[in-house]
Amino acid sequence: MSSVYDFSANTIDGQSIKLDAYKGKTLLIVNVASKCGFTPQYKGLEALYKKYKDKGLVVLGFPCDQFGHQEPGDEKEIMEFCSLTYDVDFPMFAKIKVNGDDAHPLYKYLKNEEKGILGTTNIKWNFTKFLVDKTGKVLKRYGSIDTPDSIDKDIAPLLA
């Protein structure tokens, strides 16, 4: 696999989508959770999406329940929470695993393209973010503590 465009994923409403549908867009791919200390980042992610979607940014949210059982709901409950609590309008996907043998192939790829601290590959917690350019190349990995606001400076130049 040579880019994120080589993968498919199920949307939160169960539709399979090839990520090449986002060719030519800058992507921010995030593993999300509804009951995490970082959950308020949904607000910042949505703000980034609204600010830049007309310039080509797409935020992709991938719910994951591998960290402290902080995404216990099913897809319907997750979408209701995101919509009602944070007015999330960016694309959301079905719940996945990001670590282990059953990790989604997209996440296996992302983790190998941009390793974490000290060269580790595993995702450490919810709201790890990957910035992908318009050609599908993974540019940077951000930890949970990196807020959407702090990532803005890296996104803006990619949209010019």
Q: Which residues are known catalytic residues?
A: 36
d(CA 107, CA 131): 13
The contacts of residue 85 (CB under 8 Å, 6+ apart) are 42
Q: What are phi and psi of 31, to 5 degrees?
A: -85, 120
Check: CB of residue 125 under 8 Å from CB of residue 67: yes
User: What are residue 57's DSSP bridge partners?
Assistant: 26
